[in-house]
Amino acid sequence: MHRFLDLADFSREEITGLIDLANRLERHPEPHALAGRILGLVFFNPSLRTLASFQAGMARLGGTSFVITPGQGTWQLETRLGAVMNGAAAEHVREGLPVLASYCDALGIRAFAEGRDLARDLAETQFGAMAGVIDKPLINLESAMNHPCQSLADWKTLDDLEVPRHGKFVLSWVQHPRALPLAVPAATVHMAAMRGMEVVVLRPEGYSLPPATMDKARAAAAAAGGSVRETADRDDALAGAQVLYAKEWGSTAHYGDAEGDASLRTSLGGWCVTPEWFDRAAAGCKFMHCLPVRRNVAVTDAVLDGPRSIVQREAYNRMTAQMAVLHRMLSHGV
């Protein structure tokens, strides 16, 4: 495997093969599998899980890693093509990233959406430009519209808890003080569709996922025997649901317009998950969230601390799933 950028780049069998490998490494650790291998991690945006789970996973496989947070102890890196670099950034990614790649065997990059132009973010323009200057194996640590490591961990979590392959999976918009990127909702709807689930996107008006995102998920669902639809009707969405996956994202009707988005969300305080949301769900319905999450804004303490919540398992599986990716990417020829 040379690149891990999008679950859609892989067949269903390749993804389940990675999950099988993650399970095998959990049962039978291989503490020397990646001895001598180096992973570089570049974070243009903050992280807790992605950073720590990749470093821990690499160490558990016998490899090592370094972390670069541009502008924090290193030069600030310019990402804009054609920029006149007379501002804070001392170095361009077109020089900096190939330099970093030359020091390691694989590189991971986190670069969130620019959040100004939806078409540009949907095209992964910024991440694509960075990927284009790197000749080493590359991992997407979250780009404008994708978070494949989160999705692989979530798929594994669903399998771990024996959630039926064709079960009902509700991805629900929840509250946040400001607009957040579309990467996790876009990746999640695709992951659940690719797994073969009955996927319902529950969101208020103004927060529809982009048509291209829904089309991609519908194509994955068609291939896997599942389905994908959107609704603003909570009762309809959650009836019989086996999973409620909560996520915050910005208004697609006001993309790049913070004031427009803010005016919409002022009336959406009811979009905080409470125990009552599960009244019509299946008895064992699970609560998922990729974290970080704001308590009592997106979800109440009662749900997050209750038996339905599997957020800790999801976070733990970031490490186990990524170890499979690293093993597949780097173990050959050691």
DSSP 76: P
CB of 152 to ligand CP, least distance (A): 12
CB count in 10 Å sphere of residue 225 = 11
48 binds ligand CP (CB under 6 A): yes
CB nearer to ligand CP: pick between 23 and 47: 47
Report the nearest approach of ligand CP to the CB of residue 303 (Å): 18
DSSP state, residue 225: T
Q: Which is nearer to ligand CP, 142 or 261 (CB)?
A: 142
Selected binder of ligand CP within 10, 16, 38, 47 (CB under 6 A): 47
Using the contact rule CB under 6 A, the part of the chain among 45-53, 88-96, 228-236, 303-311 near ligand CP is 45-53
Tell me the closest approach of the beta carbon of residue 109 to ligand CP, in angstroms.
13
Structure tokens at 219: 């194509």
In angstroms, give the least distance from the CB of 254 to ligand CP: 24
What is d(CA 91, CA 71) in angstroms, rounded to the nearest whole number?
10
Q: Kindly determine how many residues on this chain lie close enough to bind ligand CP according to the rule CB under 6 A.
A: 9
CB of 247 to ligand CP, least distance (A): 10
What residues numbered 263-292 form the site for ligand CP, per CB under 6 A? 290-292
Q: Which 136-175 residues touch ligand CP, going by CB under 6 A? A: 142, 150
Q: Distance between CA 127 and CA 146 in Å, rounded?
A: 10
DSSP 80-113: STT----SS--EEHHHHHHHHHHTSSEEEEE---
Q: Which SS3 state, helix, strand or coil, does residue 327 take? A: helix
Closest approach, Cβ 295 to ligand CP, in A, equals: 16
List the alpha helices (DSSP H) in the chain.
12-27, 49-60, 93-102, 118-122, 125-131, 148-160, 183-195, 211-224, 234-238, 258-265, 301-304, 311-330
Closer by beta carbon to ligand CP, 143 or else 150: 150
Site residues (CB under 6 A) for ligand CP? 47-50, 142, 150, 290-292
